[in-house]
């Protein structure tokens, strides 16, 4: 059930006009340009280029390895790397598996299909889920704009190109928040599915506690438990132990590649690693920022308009997650729309900030990427949304 907007924005008001042109016309032009450029890049990089399957090859190889009897070694780097090289002769890289067994069980079907067909189905399902979540969250004029924004967003294109999971995680979070006020059980089920990538649940308990949403919390817990149980029926239960033991090794692999990967990440610890801060201090910085974000979210969901609080949470989630990349940011598109929805006027600095956040994934794919610290505009967005609350 859609959450009704509490404030209708009048695009004809002075604050929504740029140089005599209504802002929604400017926004639509930007969306068309972004859609064209993002689609062209996506088609080349993610479907026709020499490395056309990118990260999806990792997801597919995990499923294929499991279906071929590799359940006991999917978290063993040497065994998994040997399997990936067998699946793709000439591939000399490595996609380690950081995903919990419930995620592997949910994606096991991929291994039964050729990789191209599996990626097509995965991409279609992810895009459909995110569009459905946007449909739930918005109504009237903003619903059309939300659909266009999701389709045009460079963050969406990055997910479709890489075959990554951001469309699904964003959809589960957005749908859960859309349902929370009126359909708490459905909200809990949707939020419970985020345990497939649990790092995006960091701030969700704060929301549920702040609102006293006990039915949603119980539904989320029940959904998480059911997903874990199902994974134990599909895959060996011992995989949960193997996964827990593998996380430290995975973190070492990430740190060994921090120069190549950190600038593609959205988190505070990645930003500090980009600045050559020692890892222990980077993790401490992430923890302190998460505490501050939790306080902001608590205040927002206790005291301000629900939709404004939702915008703050969506903006804060990629920043608060202990591990997240640019393809995990489709929810920022909805955060921008929710932020704009509640404003009769929008200042030029805020408009520029919104544009930067929306377009940043394009820059992250270019030569300027190593010099961009993604966490900075994210933090500014959280501040702008909280200040206007």
- Please say if the pLDDT value at position 5 is more than 50: no
4 pLDDT above the threshold of 70? no
Position 2 in a domain: no
1 is a domain residue:
no
Confidence of residue 25 (pLDDT cuts 50, 70, 90): low
Which bin fits 30, alpha (ψ -120 to 50), beta or left (φ > 0)? alpha
**Token pair recorded at residue 87:** 């699946």
Domain total in the chain: 1
| pLDDT for the residue 65 | 95
Higher pLDDT, 17 or 295: 295
Asked whether residue 24 carries a pLDDT value surpassing 60, the answer given is no
CA distance 88 to 80: 12
The whole-model pTM stands at 0.88
pLDDT in the model for residue 308: 93
* Domain contains 20: yes
Q: Is residue 8 part of a domain?
A: no
**Is residue 10 a contact partner of residue 346, using CB atoms and an 8 Å limit?**
no
The answer to whether residue 5 sits within a structural domain is no
* pLDDT of the residue at 60: 95
**pLDDT digit string (tens) for 268-321?**
988 888 888 888 898 899 999 999 999 999 999 998 789 999 999 999 999 999
Is the residue at 323 inside a domain?
A: yes
Range of the domain at 32: 14-387
Helices (H), the chain: 23-42, 54-67, 77-87, 101-106, 115-137, 141-152, 154-162, 166-179, 184-192, 204-211, 214-234, 238-256, 258-261, 268-274, 279-303, 306-320, 330-341, 348-364, 375-387
Residues in the chain: 389
Q: How far apart are CA 164 and CA 196, in angstroms?
A: 13
Tens digits of residue pLDDT in 29-64: 666 666 666 666 665 665 555 555 678 999 999 999
DSSP assignment, residue 88?
A: S
| Range with top average pLDDT, 149-153, 201-205, 385-389 | 201-205
Per-residue model confidence (pLDDT) at position 42: 60
Report CA-CA distances (Å) from 277 to 44, 257, 375.
36, 15, 15
Is 7 within a domain?
no
Quick one: what percent of the chain has pLDDT higher than 90? 51
pLDDT, tens digit, for every residue of 348-384?
Answer: 788 889 888 988 888 776 677 777 888 999 999 999 9
Residues 123-180: tens digit of each pLDDT:
999 999 999 999 999 977 778 888 988 988 889 988 988 899 999 999 999 999 999 9
Domain membership of residue 59 (yes or no) is yes
């Amino acid at each position: 059930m859609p959450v009704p907007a509490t404030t209708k924005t009048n695009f004809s008001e002075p604050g929504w006009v740029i140089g005599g042109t209504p802002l929604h016309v400017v926004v639509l032009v930007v969306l068309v340009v972004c859609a064209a450029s993002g689609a062209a890049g996506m088609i080349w990089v993610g479907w026709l280029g020499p490395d056309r399957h990118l990260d999806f090859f990792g997801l597919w190889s995990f499923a294929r390895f499991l279906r071929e009897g590799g359940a006991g070694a999917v978290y063993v780097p040497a065994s998994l790397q040997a399997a990936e090289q067998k699946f793709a002769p000439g591939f000399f890289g490595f996609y380690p598996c950081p995903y919990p067994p419930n995620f592997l069980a949910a994606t096991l079907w991929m291994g039964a299909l050729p990789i191209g067909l599996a990626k097509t189905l995965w991409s279609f399902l992810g895009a459909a889920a995110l569009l459905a979540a946007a449909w739930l969250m918005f109504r009237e004029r903003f619903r059309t704009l939300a659909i266009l924004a999701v389709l045009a967003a460079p963050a969406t294109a990055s997910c479709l190109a890489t075959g990554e999971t951001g469309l699904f995680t964003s959809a589960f979070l957005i749908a859960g928040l859309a349902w929370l006020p009126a359909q708490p059980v459905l909200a809990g089920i949707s939020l419970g599915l985020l345990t497939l990538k649990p790092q995006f649940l960091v701030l969700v308990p704060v929301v549920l506690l702040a609102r006293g949403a006990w039915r949603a919390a119980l539904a989320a817990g029940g959904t998480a438990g059911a997903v874990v149980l199902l994974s134990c029926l599909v895959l060996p239960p011992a995989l949960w132990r193997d996964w827990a033991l593998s996380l430290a090794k995975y973190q070492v692999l990430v740190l060994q590649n921090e120069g190549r990967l950190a600038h593609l990440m959205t988190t505070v610890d990645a930003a500090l690693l980009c600045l050559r801060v020692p890892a222990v201090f980077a993790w401490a910085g992430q923890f302190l920022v998460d505490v501050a974000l939790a306080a902001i979210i608590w205040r927002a969901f206790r005291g301000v308009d629900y939709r404004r609080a939702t915008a703050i949470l969506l903006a804060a989630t990629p920043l608060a997650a202990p591990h997240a990349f640019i393809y995990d940011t489709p929810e920022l598109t909805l955060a921008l729309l929710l932020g704009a929805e509640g404003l009769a006027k929008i200042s030029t600095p805020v408009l520029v900030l919104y544009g930067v956040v929306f377009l940043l994934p394009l820059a992250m794919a270019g030569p300027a990427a190593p010099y961009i610290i993604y966490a900075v505009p994210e933090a500014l967005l959280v501040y702008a949304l909280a200040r206007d609350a």
